[in-house]
Amino acid sequence: MRKSLVAITVSCLTSPVWADSCPLPLLQSKALPYEQGHDMPVTTGPYQFNLPEKPTALLAFEGVMAVYPEKEYVSYQFVSDKRVAHMLPQLTTRKLSTAALDRYVYGVDSLDDLNASDQKLIEGMRADLNLDCHAELTLYSVGKGVDVIFQDASRSDAEYRMLYFSNDSTHLISVKGTRERALTVLKSIKKRKL
């Protein structure tokens, strides 16, 4: 009896119907007014955002991290298409930029125009990132048309994430702290006048 229960369980877990039972929902779209943050502006190429309050420490690496008490932080990372462009052709059957890949992964663009192999790759990436029916993703239009994907924190992942794009690259802001702090950062994202 135990062997048959194990076989049924394994069969259910590995069947395509089970795997697709919790797909990423359609991305909800909302608008937010721009509100300048309360502290230091952070310039990120053609964009800028403000820190929500003065950090206890500011670290610079291939990005920036503002550290707050209780191990909370706001970090910024630029994922340049030039840095990862050489890897993408090894993963996909078509030429995709970093930004295009992230748009597929986070559900901004439909997988329908990809072939079965690339769809499987994107679905695998979504599984690795826990992007399924439980993920709370919203596409916000902040101020005068800066589109930002906002991912809420979850029980298994305490970070709020914001992704926005310039040309073929991705900008990523991660916030560990309150949702209010994350929304303060989100509302402060704007396009700079160059």
pLDDT score for 90: 72
> What's the farthest any 2 CA atoms get from each other in the chain?
70
Smallest Cα–Cα separation from 98: which of 22, 164, 144?
164
pLDDT score for 50: 95
- Write the pLDDT tens digit of every residue in 99-120: 999 999 999 999 998 999 889 9
- Write the pLDDT tens digit of every residue in 115-172: 998 899 999 999 999 899 999 999 999 998 899 999 999 888 899 999 999 888 999 9
pLDDT score for 66: 95
- Write the pLDDT tens digit of every residue in 19-38: 456 889 889 999 999 998 88
Would you give the distance in Å from CA 84 to the centre of its chain? 17
Q: Do the Cβ atoms of 39 and 54 come closer than 8 Å?
A: yes
